[in-house]
Structure 1
Amino acid sequence: MTIFGPVIDVRPLFPRERRALLDLLGGLEPADWSRPTVCPGWDVHDVVGHLLNDYARRLSGGRDRHGGAVFAAGETLPSYLARVNEEFVRAARQLSPRLMIELLEHLGPRLDALWAAVDMTGPAALDVSWAATDLPSPAWLDVGREYTEFWVHQQQVRDAVGVPGADDPELVRPALEIFARALPQALRAEERPEGTAVELEVTGPAGGRWLAVRREGRWRLEPEGTQPAAWVTMDQDAFWRLASRGVTVGEARARAVLTGDPALASATTTLLAVVA
């Protein structure tokens, strides 16, 4: 087992998550597409345009081996992603909602085929920097990261238009599992004796418990360990919003219970599972 814990295979869930998204979008009124979302400066139309970018980008790079990334001088990965995401969203504003729905419906099965061909135990096509910056990521974590991206953006649209859904535990639990893979990275600056453990508990129908243990100079996810030196408990809504920065660290802490070593508990609540 690596520092990332056991393999999580989310591939069977992509069609189900996408069907829920397409059903949602097909039922929106014209005014709904202009409703603001939690993404700064983006309305519903913009978030859907961003999802279309995600689909096209992964197919172009993963299936077609098209290397289109061009960094500006001195540009970091977060600033590059912010720039190109905004560029695509701006361009997509000329696309009709109907056309974007049709494009998502057309590209989705092709993306499913790309994921189906992935050796989930092999190396990732794109490393997941929020899980580790000094180790290569496994393919299953890269694919899982894409699932969380799609699911979170769907939830942002649902929040904006006031239509809950895609919230069955079978869809939510894997997203939480992938987000929990950011726990060792959240604790990386905290040096502790060998075997020190931190427990994160997420409550709710899709919740669970994850244990990060200090081994050989770094934190890693393990199924069990010694009595934790710190515990953090929060509900599943607070957790996924924290991981995707739909709420601030302070807002998440206000909704959490922190026990034990204050520095470890505090570091746990900085968990971030997006590039920022």
Structure 2
Amino acid sequence: MTSVRALARLEREEFADLLEGLTPQQWATPSLCDGWSVRDVATHTIAYLGQSRTRLLINMIRARGDVDRINADQLQEQAGRSPARLVELMRQRAEPSGAAALYRGRVGLIECLIHQQDIRRPLKQPRSIPEDRLQVSLDYARVSPVIGGARRTRRVRLVATDMDWSAGHGPEARGTGEALLLAMTGRAELLDELDGEGVTLLR
């Protein structure tokens, strides 16, 4: 069985492969993250996961737990990095460390997996996400207080239609594992890809 740390490393290496092939126009394309371009998403991912655990704690204290403020500050600080440098950093730091290594690499895995889809979908470059990575990410999204998957989907039973995964209690919301994960992480447009009575509650 492949370790979560190994899955996180593979996910980040594939993220770097994706970024390396982008044109200048694609780097400027709006992502699924409101107000962020593809470049912004890549910059955020690298900056967030590149923090040491101590630096992450300091940033959380300074921002009084406001994750949006931390993200905005980091984007401003890293705005001068070229696409080539972003690709280089994404590849160099593939092995989970610092913030990326939290929860045995789950933070690094889910951060790269979700944000890669935030980029791929607007660029119309879909992929088949390996089921082992998706399984770990779905489980972690449900328990992480930062991601808030359980909070967003309470009173609803989530059922994946393309893999053996389900969670929660109540009316069902059914869809692919990818759609369920992105919906749990706040991508409201993904609710259109789900079926079942539970979708009304999710909206």
Pairwise same-fold verdict (TM > 0.5)? yes
1:36-88 Cα shifts (integer Å, max 9, x gaps): 1121211011000001112212xx22xxx44532656xx652xx221121121
Which one-letter code corresponds to 1:26 in the other structure? E
Which one-letter code corresponds to 1:200 in the other structure? L
Work out whether 1:257 is the aligned partner of 2:196: yes
List runs of 5+ in structure 2 lacking aligned partners. none
2:12–2:109 contact (8 Å) kept in structure 1: no
Q: Distance in 2 between matches of 1:104 and 1:88?
A: 16
1:69-121 Cα shifts (integer Å, max 9, x gaps): 2656xx652xx221121121123221101111111222222529x83xxxxxx
1:201–1:233 contact (8 Å) kept in structure 2: yes
Match of residue 36, structure 2, among 9, 33, 42? 42
**What are the residue-to-residue correspondences of 1:55-204 with 2, within 5 Å?**
55-57=49-51, 60-61=52-53, 65-66=54-55, 67-69=57-59, 71=61, 76-77=64-65, 80-109=66-95, 111=97, 115=101, 139=103, 143-165=105-127, 167-181=129-143, 185=151, 199-204=157-162
For the structure 1 residues 22 and 254, does the alpha-carbon distance in structure 2 shift closer, same or farther, using more than 3 Å as the test? closer
Match of residue 244, structure 1, among 180, 185, 203? 185
1:209 maps to: 166
Name the % identity.
20
Which one-letter code corresponds to 1:162 in the other structure? K
Q: Distance in 2 between matches of 1:87 and 1:240?
A: 26
Q: Distance in 1 between matches of 2:152 and 2:31?
A: 27
For the structure 1 residues 252 and 161, does the alpha-carbon distance in structure 2 shift closer, same or farther, using more than 3 Å as the test? closer
| TM-score of the two chains, using structure 1 as the length reference | 0.60
For the structure 1 residues 199 and 158, does the alpha-carbon distance in structure 2 shift closer, same or farther, using more than 3 Å as the test? closer
Which one-letter code corresponds to 2:81 in the other structure? L
Which one-letter code corresponds to 2:165 in the other structure? G
For the structure 1 residues 238 and 71, does the alpha-carbon distance in structure 2 shift closer, same or farther, using more than 3 Å as the test? same
Q: Distance in 1 between matches of 2:67 and 2:165?
A: 31
1:202–1:235 contact (8 Å) kept in structure 2: yes
1:164-196 Cα shifts (integer Å, max 9, x gaps): 2261223222222222336764587x7xxxxxx
Q: Which has the higher strand share?
A: 1
Structure 1 segments (4+ residues) deviating >6 Å: none
**How far is the alpha carbon of 1:152 from its aligned partner?**
0.4
Match of residue 232, structure 1, among 172, 193, 200? 172
For the structure 1 residues 32 and 184, does the alpha-carbon distance in structure 2 shift closer, same or farther, using more than 3 Å as the test? closer
For the structure 1 residues 45 and 147, does the alpha-carbon distance in structure 2 shift closer, same or farther, using more than 3 Å as the test? same
1:46–1:92 contact (8 Å) kept in structure 2: no
Work out whether 1:23 is the aligned partner of 2:17: yes
Which one-letter code corresponds to 1:252 in the other structure? L
CA RMSD of aligned residues (A): 3.2
- Secondary structure at the aligned position of 1:164 is classed as coil
**How far is the alpha carbon of 1:17 from its aligned partner?**
0.5
Q: Which has the higher helix share?
A: 2
Which one-letter code corresponds to 1:51 in the other structure? T
**How far is the alpha carbon of 1:201 from its aligned partner?**
1.7
| TM-score of the two chains, using structure 2 as the length reference | 0.78
Give the length in aligned residue pairs.
Answer: 195
List runs of 5+ in structure 1 lacking aligned partners. 1-8, 116-124, 126-138, 191-197, 213-229, 260-264, 271-276
**How far is the alpha carbon of 1:258 from its aligned partner?**
2.3
Which one-letter code corresponds to 1:257 in the other structure? G
1:53 maps to: 47
**How far is the alpha carbon of 1:241 from its aligned partner?**
2.1
